[in-house]
Chain A
Amino acid sequence: MITGYARRKITNAAALVLSACAAALGLFFLFYILADVLRHGIMSINLKLFTLDAAPPMMAGAEGGLRQAFAGQLMLTGGAVLIGVPLGILGGTFLAEYGRFSKIGRFISGLSDITVSMPSIIIGTFIYSILVKPFGGFNGWAGAAALAVIMLPIVIRTTEEMMRLVPWTTREAAFALGAPYYKVITQVVWRGAAAGIFTGILLSVARVAGETAPLLFTSFNNNFLTFDMSGPMPSLTVTIYQYAASPYEEWVKLAWAASFVITLFILIINILGRQFIKWRYKN
């Protein structure tokens, strides 16, 4: 006969064991996915991956790499940083300083939060209709713009948060020396928040580096090295998508290799960035 107290003890134990199982399940899938990418990707990692362009499949003795995709990815991401970061830092500055008590400031801040979660494929269709269709073809600028639209709200919100962490009394100290507001912002607040903003930018770069959907309809893909942003640009992610679906074994291997590189890059930035923020803002 199980008494009320014993039953409560059993329920308690069962619930706690289940919650531990949930945590174990989460960790299991993280390591399962990482191990899988490592297992498939590590074999195809060699110098040729970075120094050779893609070779046509099924050609006897042809050796191929993904140099064109690495170069394209760097240019697309670089373009996105050039557009998204200045706009994001300035915009976040408005939200944290000039517009901090205004209705419009709060509205933009809330809208940015919503935009952070917007499906990236929608941003792809949007950029397609303003930057691809009117210009008659896929181009690298459109890809960079799509990534910039994804970056913008992330950078805006991080900048705002980091600038708000700078104590108001610090600004007052600068005001008391007679500094105008813009000087207080650029020489005091930005300096105080620089480490946090920089980390936020790195994390947003890691986020867009793994984006595929917005590039499908904008920069598309090709299989040769190009530095011309007005034509289709290869990228690691779209290359993964196309190669993984191809019937050629060589291409599937390259897709895994690219997956490995991109996952490693994103994990390292995320782990270092988060640790740094935790350490910097502990107090």
Chain B
Amino acid sequence: MDAKRTRAVNGVFSGVTFLSSFTVIMAVLGIFACLCLESAPAVREYGFFRFITETRWDYAENVFGGFRPLAGTVLTSAGALLIAVPVAIGIAVFITELCPSFLKGSISMAIELLAAIPSIIYGMWGLFTFAPLIENTLQKWIGGTFGQIPFIGSFFSAQYAGGVSIFTASLVLSIMIVPYIASIARDTFSQTPAILKESAYGIGATKWEVIRDVVMPYCKTGTNSGIIIAAGRALGETMAIAYVIGNRHGPLNSLFDPYTTITSVLANEFNEASGLHMSSLFLLAFILFIANFATLTAAKIYIRKKVNR
């Protein structure tokens, strides 16, 4: 084979590989464009700000407002992070500082397997096993104690049966995002230079003081980016939420009320929707896309900035 032909083959091959990798850009641009186009009728009808502040979601009146699904998504994600962050950091501390080395690998893998279990399995377990359990234990207990407090008591008492609620959804979601934070925190914890820790031990610090004052500040960037990535995951989690949130378009009066999120309303109503209803669903999907994309981009930029410094 002469040199000319070799160069041509090499050029074609590099071109093909480039085009293949370019499909990622095409897919993201395609998603952006499609969601924009499909949600345009809803934006024209309501305007963006009226859409996100409108609370009604009414098929009969043909009015679709995004406030409740948006609030549901934000509340479940925030609740899940509130529970998952301390637990995940505890897991990372345990694996890097306490765990006997022969168990390290298997415990790390077990925690990571939590992320491999499909969303729909969390949904099955959540609906048939976990939600009734919560209804009979935590929900009863919280309703019985905090529910007695005047004025704010109603916020803690249950109005609906079955245990499906924004509270259960946050709990299930928190289990699902723990592995993302825990594995990143574990990786960064274990990269803390031994000399830093040893100098703290040398001046008499206890193990916890070393973790709190040396390891955690050193690993702030990694842990924070893990939390942001987990937040992105939480926003977009669909099937598990669709099972345990209860899918109710109504005001949220109690922690134990069924509610709705962007993803659950999409999963439940998309196939039966048409016209303005469909366009409103696409607008919700578009908002979720932007929120998720912005969150993960922020995590990327954050890491890059910190690492370069």
Contacts and interface: CB of A to CB of B under 8 A. Distances in A.
Interface string B148-190: 0000000000000000000000000001001100100000000
B35 A126 contact: yes
B193 interface: no
Contact of A114 (B23, B105, B107, B300): B300
Interface in A110-125: 110-115, 117-123, 125
Nearest to A260: B121
B207 interface: yes
Interface in A238-268: 240-241, 244, 255-256, 259, 262-263, 266-267
Given A122-B236, A181-B10, A19 B121 contact: no
A263 B23 contact: no
A90 B124 contact: no
Contact of B113 (A94, A97, A108, A270): A270
29 contacts: A9-B206, A11-B208, A19-B90, A19-B94, A22-B89, A27-B107, A36-B125, A90-B17, A90-B21, A94-B21, A98-B17, A108-B21, A110-B300, A111-B24, A121-B236, A129-B37, A152-B23, A180-B6, A209-B118, A212-B120, A212-B238, A213-B119, A216-B271, A241-B123, A244-B124, A255-B124, A259-B124, A266-B117, A271-B113
A118 B233 CA distance: 8
A25 B87 contact: yes
Interface string A78-116: 000000001111111111011100000100101111110
A18 interface: yes
Nearest to B11: A182
A283 to B, nearest CB: 16
B282 interface: yes
Interface string A10-25: 0110011011111101
Nearest to B281: A125
A48 interface: no
Interface residues of B, number: 90
A26 B285 contact: no
A19 B18 CA distance: 47
A118 B297 CA distance: 11
B82 interface: no
B289 interface: yes
Interface in B69-98: 86-91, 93-95, 97-98
B292 A12 contact: no
A256 B124 contact: yes
Contacts of B211: 15
- Of the listed residues B179, B282, B289, the one surrounded by the most CB atoms of chain A closer than 10 A to its CB is B289
A19 B111 contact: no
Contacts of B128: 36, 40, 244
B21 A156 contact: yes
Contact of B238 (A88, A121, A209): A121
Contact of B285 (A9, A16, A121, A266): A121
Given A33-B117, A125-B270, A182-B13, A119 B94 contact: no
B16 interface: yes
B196 interface: no
Interface stretch (B26-34, B51-59, B134-142, B248-256): B26-34
B51 to A, nearest CB: 17
A108 B238 contact: no
Contacts of B120: 210, 212, 237, 240-241, 259
Contacts of A37: 121, 124-125
Given A108-B25, A111-B24, A213-B263, 6 more contacts: A29-B175, A94-B20, A122-B292, A129-B38, A209-B118, A213-B239
A8 interface: yes
B55 to A, nearest CB: 23
Given A91-B17, A119-B237, A206-B116, A149 B175 contact: no
A53 interface: no
Contacts of A117: 229, 232-233, 236, 292, 296
A125 B278 CA distance: 11
A274 interface: yes
B116 A23 contact: no
A21 B116 CA distance: 22
Nearest to A217: B270
B95 A23 contact: yes
Contacts of A1: none
Contacts of A262: 118, 121
Contacts of A23: 90-91, 94-95, 99, 107, 111
B116 A8 contact: no
